[in-house]
Structures are given as C-alpha cells and as structure tokens.
Structure 1
Amino acid sequence: MNKTPLTVRGAELLRDELHRMKTVERPNVIAAIAEARSHGDLSENAEYDAAKERQGFVEGRIKELEAKLANAQIIDPATLDADGRCVFGATVELEEIDSGDEVTYQIVGDDEADVKNGKISVSSPIARALIGKYAGDIADVQAPGGVRSYEIVDVRYV
C-alpha cells in the first residue's frame, strides 16, 4: 500500500482520535450493549440494535485510524528544505490576480484538510496547481466558476 503523507500535527490528531475511540467510545458502547441486554428480549430491543450499530461504527473507525497511521509518511514542514518550492507541508501565500485578494494555505494530507483554517488537501485542485512552483510563479486553478489565476507571493515551511 502507498504511504499517505501527513503533517506531524495531522498524525497527532489521528492518534488522539484513536486513543479516544479505544479508551472512551469502545467502553461506552460495551456498557450500552450490556444495559440493553439487561432489558430482556433482544429481538425487539431498539436500544440493543442501536448499540450494536454504534459498536460496528466504532470498531470500523478504529481499524481505519490504525491503517492510516500504519501507512502514514509523517512530514515535518519545519525540517523541509525545498529551496522555496511548493511541496507537501508548505504554507503558501497567494494573491488572486483578478481581485487582488490574498489567502494563505498550508498543503496537508486529505484527513487534515480544513479550508476554514487555511489547510488544503494535497489532492485538491489548488494544491495540485501549486505543487512544484516557486514564489513569483502564477498558478492557474480550474475552479467550478472557471479558471482562477493566483500569484505565489511567499512559500514558508513552518
């Protein structure tokens, strides 16, 4: 299986979620199943069915998180030496050429992406347009409303 890039922060968040699932969610589901069983007939017990469904979700999420962490290639942007090139983990300051609006994004893994907090997925159209470019270059991004052009103002590794 291919390695999946993750920032150090993204890996921490996945580890925290995995820990919470194993130490909080799993015991809660087990307790809910035991409680529902104590009510008797399981054939018409909605609480039992809901608890079993939740258990399936929790166990599936635990397996998913363990697989993601096992296949993660953890990259610390602060240790990158990409000579000013846009790469995974870089924080890129952009200026939209038409409007002059400035935005700053960090290129992160798919699981870490959060546009509201300035984190875009490495597989997003804008990140794919930026990868490999330098400050001063123009990146053309195919957006739903048409092609948008951005000038790369600065590339940082923080």
Structure 2
Amino acid sequence: MNQIPMTLRGADKLREELEELKTVKRPRIIASIADAREHGDLKENAEYHAAREEQGFCEGRIQEIEAKLSNAQVIDVTQMAGNANGRVIFGATVTVLNVETDEESTYRIVGDDEADFKQNLISVNSPMARGLVGKVADDVTVIKTPGGDVEYEIVKVEYL
C-alpha cells in the first residue's frame, strides 16, 4: 500500500481516537454484550444484536485507523519550513484573497483523511490545494471551481 501523507496533528488525532476506541468504547461494548446475554434468548434480544453490531463497527474502525497509521507518512510542517522558502507545501497554512470579491480565506493543506472544509482543512488533492502548492506570497493563481475559474492572490504562507 502507498504511503499516505498526513500532518503531525492529523496523526495525533487518529492516535487519540484509536486510544479512545480501545480503552473506553471497546470495554463498554463488551460489557453491554455481557449484560444483554444475561437477558436470555439471544435470537430475539435487540440489545444483544445492537451491541454486536456496534462492536463490528468499532473493531472495523480500529482496523482502519491502524492501517492508516501504519501507512502514514507523517509530515511535521514546522520542521520543513526552512526548506520551503516561503512556498506553499503540504501542511502549510495559506491565507488567500479572492481577487474578484476581495474576500480573505485561510486554509491548511492536509491529507485526504484530515480534510474538513468547515474547519478550513483542505485535501492536498483538492483543486484549491493543487492550485496553491508551490506558490509564494503575492503570487496570483487561478483555481477551477464548479462555478468557474476564480483568481486568488496568496497573502500569507505559514508553517504552524
């Protein structure tokens, strides 16, 4: 399997979720299954079936996170700042200005699993990130969006 680029923050978040699943959720589900078993006939025991289903989801998520972490190429952008020479790279936080609307936005370029547009975390594979990577402050780039081409000026590049 190919290595998956991931920020240090993203990897830490996955490790926290994994710890929570293994130390809190898994034991709670096991207790729920044991408790439901005591109610007798398992064929018609809704609590038992619900707990088993939840266990399946939990174990699946544990395996998924472990696989992602084992294939993660964790990138600490603060360590790469010196080599980046002010360029937009994976993990960088970029402030852009929409030339047409004069609206400023700030995005952090992250791995696919970390992307969350509501939190301004954009995937390195998104059209926006692809249009920004390699650019420096004061560069102007055109991003293809569903609504047409949009011109952005890069205001600031940070390695946080």
Shorter-normalised TM-score: what interval?
A: over 0.9
Which residue does the alignment assign to 1:34? 34
Query: Within 5 A, what are the aligned runs for 1:70-109?
Result: 70-80=70-80, 81-109=83-111
Query: Among residues 118, 128, 131, which one is paired with 2:130 in the alignment?
Result: 128
Count of matched residue positions in the alignment of Structure 1 and Structure 2: 158
Which SS does the other structure have where 2:154 is aligned?
Answer: strand
How does 1:1-158 map onto structure 2 within 5 Å?
Answer: 1-80=1-80, 81-158=83-160
Which segment is superposed worse, 148-157 or 52-61? 148-157
Q: Deviations over 1:97-135 (max 9, x none)?
A: 101111111111122222233221112221111112222
Measure the CA separation in 2 of the matches of 1:32 and 1:107.
Answer: 40
The gaps in structure 1 that reach 5 residues or longer are: none
The residue type paired with residue 89 of structure 1 is G
Instruction: Report SS of the residue matched to 2:84.
Output: coil
Report the identity percentage: 58
Which stretch has the larger CA shift, 94-103 or 104-113?
104-113
Q: What is the root-mean-square deviation of aligned Cα atoms in Å?
A: 1.1
TM (normalized to structure 1)?
0.95
Runs of 4+ displaced beyond 3 Å: none
> Taking structure 2 as the reference length, what is the TM-score of the superposition?
0.94
